[in-house]
Every structure is written in C-alpha cells, then in structure tokens.
Amino acid sequence: MIPKETIDQIYTTARIEEVIGDYMTLRRRGANLWGNCPFHDEKTPSFSVSPVKGIYKCFGCGKAGNAVNFVMEYEKCSYVEALKQIAKKYHIEVKEKELTEEEKRQEDERESMFKTNEWANKWFQQQLWETEEGQNIGLSYFISRGLREDIIRKFQLGYSPERNALYRAAQQAGWANEYLEKTGLCGISLHDGRRYDRFRDRVIFPIFTISGKVVAFAGRILKDKKGTGKYINSPDSAIYNKYNELYGLFQAKQEIDKQNMCYLVEGQMDVISMHIAGIQNVVSSGGTSLTHHQILLLHRLTENVTLLYDGDAAGIHAALRGIDMLLEEGMNLKVVLLPDGEDPDSLSRKMNAVDFQQFLQDNSQDFIRFKTALLLKDAQNDPIKRSQVIKDIVQSISVIPDRITRQVYIKDCSNMLGIREDELNRETLRLRQEKYDKKGAGKRDAREVQDEPEPQEEQTSTPAAPPSTPQPVLPTLSDRLDQNICNLLQVIVRYGEYPLFDTTVGNYVLEELQNDQIHFENPLYEEVLGEFRAHKDDEGFQAETFFKYHPDSRISSFAIGLISEPYELSRIYSHKNISENIKAETKMPTDADRLTDLVPQLMLELKLTIIKEQQLYIREALKHAQENNQAAEIMELMRQEMQYKDVERQLCKLLGSRIRG
C-alpha cells in the first residue's frame, strides 16, 4: 500500500503535460496544450491539457482525468501501477506503507509466486526454441497448426518435456518447493510423495494479467493418454482464479481500445488463430462459462462485444448463457454463430485472412435477432412454446440497464414477433420489478407498476412532494433530468465545503435530497455523494482537490469532467439589475458569490423536472385507463394529476421569485 504522503508527492511533482507528452504530441494554443486524442480517431485536435489545473479533457469523446488517470487509461493498468510508473519517471522512491506481519507474508508470497511463474515461462520458451525435443515436438505442433514464428513469440508459447525436467531445473536455480507447488507448476504424488511436473509433455500457453504478469499456465497434451485430459490449467491460487482472467487480454487491450470492440471466443487457439488472420481485438474465457468478473474486466476497455461460438448444440447453449450477463452489464452485444462443426481456429485456417474477416462482418447478428431466430425454430406452430420463447427474449431485454436501448429492442421484438409494444413493455417492467424485489430493494428510484405503458428511465429520482397514494414510476426521463443532477454534483465537487446560509453547499444539497427522498439510480452519482458525505468533515477537506485526485479513476474522471464544464449562469443573472449605470465600474460576481442564488435554483429545477416527468406519466396512464374504461383508476389518476399540478405551481412560483430577484 502506497502511503498518502507519497501519493501526494507524486501528484505534486508530476507535470501533466510531461506525463502525457511521453505518449503523444502536444502543441500549445493559448493557456492549454492540444493534440489528437489517443482514445478515439480524429483529424482535428480536440484533446486539451491544462498545465495549470493539472487535468486533461477530450471534447470529442468526453474522456477526462489527471496524469494518473491518463496512464491508467492508456496503459490499461491499475491505479497503483500508474502511480509507480509516474514515480519512476520523476525518480520518486515509493516506500510502501508498513504492513502487518500477516500482510507482509501474503505480499511476499504473491511476489514470490509471480517471480516463480516468470522464471518458468522463460524456461518453457527456452525448451521450445533451444532443445531438440522442443523443436521436434512442441514447435512442430505449433507450425502444423499454422502458427508463424512471430505469433508464437508474441504469445510466449512454450514446451514442457516429458520427464520432470522443470522441477530439476527449478531445484538447480534455487526456486523454493513451496512456490512451485502453490503456483501449480509441480504436484506431489499421492503414491510415493515425490514431486512431479504438472505440465510435463505438453505445449504451454502462459496466461497473463492485463498488465502483463504471468499469472498461470495452460498445457495441451500432444499424445493420447488414457484418463488424461487434453488441456490442464494451473490451479486456483493466491494470484490466480480462472474465473477472473481472460486469455489474450494483455495482447489485445490496445487493439480493443482502438477498435472499441472485442470478439469473445472460447479457447486459446481460437484467440491465436484470429491474430494470424489479422484480428487482434479478441479474448477467450478460457473454456469456462463467462463470469461477471471477466465481463467487468472487459468493460474497462469497451462496451461492444461480439460473441463467436461453435454452431453445435454446446456452442449455442454457451452463447445463450453469456448473453444476459453481458446485457446486464450494459454491453452492446452481437453474435456470430459459426457453421456446425467449426470453431474460430478451424474456420480461420480454411479461409484467408480477408475472407475470414469478411465472414465475421457478414454473419454478425444483433443478439435479439439471433436469439429470436434460434428459439423460434421449433416453436412456430406451438402456442405454448412460442409464448415461452417470447418470455425468454423479454427476460433478456429486461436486464439491459439503459432505458433507450431497452425500448429499441422492444420495438424490434414487437416487429419480429407480432406482439404489441405496450404488452412487451409491461412484461419487461414486471420482470424488472421482480428483480428488484428479489434483491430486497426497499426504496428504489424506479418504482415500476404493472400497467406502465413505457419502460423506466435509468437515472431517475423519487418525487419531491409525493402524493399520499402509491407512487407511479417516472416514465421517460429526458437529458434535462440528468443535466439537473450533474449541475448539483458540479457545485458539490467545486464548492462542497463553501459556506451557504448556516451550513455548507454540500450539506445543503444532501439535506434537500434527503428531505424529499430523492435518490439517483446511476451508481456513480450516488458514489460521488457518498464520498462527499464520508469525507466532508475531514480536516482540511477541499472538495475539488479531493475529487480531482480520488484513487477511484471513475470518480476522479467524472469529477474532472464536471470541473472542465462551465456553468450556464447567465440565465440566473440575466434578469438582475447588476448596475443601473452601465458605464459605472462594477465588480462582476464570481461563481462562489453566486452560490446563494445558484444552489437553491438548481435544486428547485431538479424537483420541477421530476414533477413534470410524473405528470407525463399520469397523462399516459390516464389515456390507458380511458381506453380500457377503468373508471376507478381514471378518478384516482385525475386526483393525482391535480396534486402534481399544485406542486408544480408552487415550484414555479419559487423559481420565478428567485430569477426575478
């Protein structure tokens, strides 16, 4: 753990223009430096670096952050790794915080295991390239599979001889038996207690972390042996969990970021074969079912994923298993189902690189079309099966977090299946309600009701002045609501500790939100509020500095994006008579001076937007009730409509008085 004093020294010493200048060309224009953004393709520079503020902001793709954020984003490394890299540039000694004896033991164990794996990886490669056995067996196998020398070296493939050669070499090199066993390089025979090489007589595929550390190995046997699996992997350990890693991610991360898309396949050879075909933005789940942690790892690089699966029953089943997990994480998903009996490795070897790439483009399907066509094959003439298929597809749509994306899929699904959109909407909302109920969610931002005609917006809030009856959901929250929320977060990040009335800006906002039970569904917004709430009373707390250099890159990048955006304050003061004599010298108020007017107005605007969205719901629900002659519901909805109009009038009156001054 790096002490706070060292982190502060790194941030104080590092000049953002120098750190970023190591990766790209920057040219001065006014107070800032500009260049072509490294995170998206552009011809006109929109990437701005502010040496004074110590931040960067791309006005094309929206990425923003500090020097550490940039290194993390560019190198795809962790916060600590980025800090160490910058510290090395400025010759700052990183003395990690004194650990407990148990923490030291665990840290020493992890480091020793990584070093043991690093040595073994070099040894496996040496056996492949420099020994007669390795060349005749291991290298010949790779060449027979169509692998070029540059690809073999790129993935650092190796070979392990049949005898227990690795164990003997490790003994001679002084590597401890403890770490040979804990990494899984060696095992202990139950028969006689002797150690043996786990990967003997196999070609070796090292597995890397995203930062390039060798975390484990996979070995493929080349001779058929009864009772022996074709592939074996390193066992789970203090440094490796097979459900947490993606094979090929280290080699693919830059290309995934550049293409903003990733192909997801099943096996190691699938990844390597696609590299041979010129497709480098590809990773593998390593032959296991896709896990939530793997999806989060991938989501750091892109939101766009294309699944490639074998066309047999097992491949189809695997594709269906992974779809909902990816959708729930907010990924944009497509599927390529390969011909029966083919996998990416075999198919890429039958085609040249150009034809294979064209095949992937031509056969890429949106997930909804893939799943619909697949499930309807055997259900066309069976109403019961067809009903189940529709429910299955709607279940997938219901897990998508973004409301607009859900609505697009519902429209497509309606057209393909011949089901009315409002029916699909209601089923989607019912499933989302069930999901939240199972999680035990009490207060929720999206209180969904069975008869709601449209899906629920994701970044929503509870109303400021709720009626006495059970509340309906906000239907379609516009960008205006999101902007209202960001405006409030912006004043917290910039001026959270500034005095306002008899409290502070941040406390005022928190109290107002709590009083009206307003919550934000966007977890990042809630995290920013939570971090302010947790640290606002710290000695010497300054909100802007705290958030700008926050160790969570998501929070710091978001905060810096807010800091980079100017306020639109002219509308607040456009009606105020700053000076009756325009020729008189008048000191214009600063943002801080304006907080007394700004913060309450932003809060009122948020509440008004929420109320207006509630009214929109009421109108839609009333229309639905009238179409179905639901007299009792019509009366209740009309009563609620009057209540909301009354609240709206009160808010408008308050807003009007503030603007007129």
Q: Which domain holds residue 558?
A: 479-576+587-660
Q: How, if at all, do strands 332-337 and 304-309 pair?
A: parallel
User: What CATH number does the domain containing 18 carry?
Assistant: 3.90.580.10
φ/ψ of residue 173, rounded to 5: -85, -5
Q: What is the mean pLDDT of residues 30-46?
A: 85
Short-list 264, 248, 275, 406, CA closest to 321: 264
Short-list 267, 271, 225, 220, CA closest to 249: 271
Residue 328 Cα to chain centre, angstroms: 11
- Top-confidence residue, 487 or 157: 157
Q: What are the tens digits of pLDDT across the range 262-295?
A: 999 988 999 999 999 999 999 998 766 788 888 8
Let me know if 438 is exposed, middle or buried by CB neighbors in 10 A (0-12, 13-18, 19+). Answer: exposed
Q: What are the tens digits of pLDDT across the range 310-347?
A: 766 666 666 677 788 888 888 888 988 888 778 888 88
Amino acid at 313: A
Residue that terminates a domain, selected from 40, 59, 89: 89
Q: How, if at all, do strands 503-504 and 499-500 pair?
A: antiparallel
For residue 621, being part of any structural domain is answered with: yes
Residue tagged 């989060």 (tokens): 296
Same domain, 133 and 209: yes
Please count the CA atoms within 13 angstroms of the CA of 13 that sit on its side-chain side: 15
For residue 635, being part of any structural domain is answered with: yes
Q: How, if at all, do strands 304-309 and 262-265 pair?
A: parallel
For residue 582, being part of any structural domain is answered with: no
Same domain, 225 and 301: no
| Helix/strand/coil for 219 | strand
Check pLDDT > 50 for residue 568.
no
Same domain, 17 and 147: no
Confidence class for position 472, pLDDT limits 50, 70, 90:
very low
Which region among 62-76, 370-384, 570-584, 587-601 has the lowest average model confidence (pLDDT)? 570-584
Residues 6+ apart with CB under 8 A from 629: none
For residue 463, being part of any structural domain is answered with: no
For residue 445, being part of any structural domain is answered with: no
Residue 404 Cα to chain centre, angstroms: 18
Check pLDDT > 80 for residue 444.
no
Confidence class for position 471, pLDDT limits 50, 70, 90:
very low
Same domain, 211 and 150: yes
Alpha-carbon separation of residue 496 from 201, 341, 560 (angstroms) = 63, 61, 15
For residue 377, being part of any structural domain is answered with: no
For residue 372, being part of any structural domain is answered with: no
Same domain, 497 and 572: yes
| Helix/strand/coil for 36 | coil
Same domain, 549 and 485: yes
| Distance of alpha carbon 364 from alpha carbon 106, whole angstroms | 46
pLDDT at position 196 is 92
pLDDT at position 165 is 94
pLDDT at position 29 is 87
Q: What is the mean pLDDT of residues 31-37?
A: 88
| Distance of alpha carbon 224 from alpha carbon 287, whole angstroms | 20
Confidence class for position 505, pLDDT limits 50, 70, 90:
very high
Same domain, 198 and 147: yes
Amino acid at 440: G
Kindly state the helix (H) or strand (E) to which residue 440 belongs, with its residue range: none
Q: What are the tens digits of pLDDT across the range 168-205?
A: 999 999 999 999 999 999 999 888 888 999 999 999 99
Considering only CA atoms, give the Rg of the chain.
30
* Buried residues in 105-138 as b, exposed as e (16+ CB within 10 A): eeeebeebbbebbebbbebbbebbbebebbeebb
Residues 6+ apart with CB under 8 A from 526: 519, 520
Pair 641, 615: CB distance under 8 Å: yes
Residues 84, 90, 96, 97, Cα dihedral to 10°: -120
Q: What is the mean pLDDT of residues 207-230?
A: 83
Same domain, 501 and 617: yes
Residue that terminates a domain, selected from 330, 363, 396: 363
Q: What is the mean pLDDT of residues 515-544?
A: 87
Pair 337, 311: CB distance under 8 Å: yes
Same domain, 541 and 398: no
Q: What are the tens digits of pLDDT across the range 119-175?
A: 999 999 999 999 999 999 999 999 999 999 999 999 999 999 988 899 999 999 999
| Distance of alpha carbon 607 from alpha carbon 173, whole angstroms | 69
Pair 396, 371: CB distance under 8 Å: yes
Kindly state the helix (H) or strand (E) to which residue 210 belongs, with its residue range: none
pLDDT at position 117 is 95
Same domain, 400 and 521: no
Same domain, 70 and 175: no
Looking at the 3D structure of the chain, how many domains does it have? 5
Amino acid at 49: V
Looking at every residue in the chain, the average pLDDT score rounds to 81
Q: What is the mean pLDDT of residues 102-124?
A: 84
Helix axes 4-13, 67-75, angle to 10 degrees: 90
Same domain, 501 and 632: yes
Q: What are the tens digits of pLDDT across the range 377-428?
A: 767 677 888 888 888 888 889 988 888 888 888 998 888 888 888 888 888 8
Residue that terminates a domain, selected from 61, 89, 117: 89
For residue 468, being part of any structural domain is answered with: no
Check pLDDT > 70 for residue 42.
yes
User: What CATH number does the domain containing 297 carry?
Assistant: 3.40.1360.10
| Distance of alpha carbon 417 from alpha carbon 369, whole angstroms | 10
| Distance of alpha carbon 570 from alpha carbon 219, whole angstroms | 66
